[in-house]
Chains A and B, each alone.
Chain A
Amino acid sequence: MIKNEYQYRKKTNCKDKQSLLSKKLIFAAIRGEEIALQIVVQHYDRYIDRLVLRELYDGYGNIYIYHDPVLKTELQNKLIEGILKFQVLE
C-alpha cells in the first residue's frame, strides 16, 4: 500500500503544494518504516529547499543567493528525528 503511494508520488512528482500526506503514511512514518520516511522527506524537500536559501553579501554590496547544503542535510536529519518523536493527539 505504502509502496504504491511511493511510486504514485514519484510518478506525479507531487506537483500540487496543498496535498497532505495520507493518514496511513503518517502512521507508517511514525512507526519508522523506511519507505514512508523517504516519502515524507521527499514531500518536504521543496519546503526545505526554500528554507536553506541564504543571502550573502560581498564587499561591494552584491547579493548572492546561496543554497546551504549543510543546513539542508541537518534539516532532513532533524525532520526524521522529529517524525519519530511525533505523538498523535486524538
Chain B
Amino acid sequence: MICQEQFDSFCKKLLRNHVRNYERYLRRNRRRECFFEDVCKDHRLQQCFSVPPYGEAYSFRVMNMDVLVKNLILGAALEDLEDERRDIVLLAYFFEMTDQEIAERLNLIRRTVAYRRGSTLKQLKKFLEAYADD
C-alpha cells in the first residue's frame, strides 16, 4: 500500500513540476516576445532585409534589368509609351547611359536615339501636362 501511494504521489508531483516548468518557460518567452509590427519599425531589423515595393510601383524590364518606378503618375506615362521608346528613356535617365552607348546596345545609330529621346520626352511632357490639367 505504501508503495502504491508513493508511486501515485511521485507521478503527480512529476506532472505538477513539469507544468510549473512549462509555465515558467512561457513566462520567460513572453517577456522577450514583442509584436512583429513593433519589430518592423526597428532600424536594426530593417538593415537585415528590404521589402520590394511591388504592387505600389510600375516595373519595367530593360535588357534583363528591372526598373521600378515608384511615382505612379510617371509610371503610368511610361507605360503609355511604345516599348522601344520607353527603353531609350529608361536607359538614358535611369541608368544614365549616353546616346552613343544606348545606340550600341540597341543596334541603332546615335542620331536616331537622340531624336527618339527628344520626341519621347515631348510625348511624356504632353501626357503629364494632360494629367496635371485633370
Query: A residues near B, CB below 8 A?
Result: 20-23, 26, 40, 44, 47-48, 51-52, 71, 74-75, 78-79, 82-83, 86, 88-90
Given A71-B19, A74-B18, A74-B22, are A79 and B4 also a contact pair (CB < 8 Å)?
no
Bound-state CA distance A4–B7 (Å) is 21
Q: Which residues in B have their C-beta under 8 angstroms from that of A40? A: 11
Interface residues of B in 1-51 (CB under 8 A from A): 1, 3-8, 10-12, 14-16, 18-19, 22
For the residues of B in contact with A, the DSSP-based class is helix
How many residues in B have their beta carbons less than 8 Å from beta carbons of A?
A: 16
Does the CB pair A78–B4 fall under 8 Å? no
Q: A51-B16, A74-B18, A75-B18 given as contacts; is B4 within 8 A of A82 (CB)?
A: no
Whether the Cβ atoms of B4 and A23 lie closer than 8 Å is yes
Chain B residues within CB distance 8 Å of chain A: 1, 3-8, 10-12, 14-16, 18-19, 22
Contact A78–B15 (Cβ < 8 Å): yes
Query: Which residue of A71, A74, A78, A89 contacts B6 across the interface (Cβ within 8 Å)?
Result: A89
* Chain A contacts for B7, CB-based, 8 A: 20-21, 26, 86
Instruction: Give the chain B neighbours of A90 by CB distance below 8 A.
Output: 3
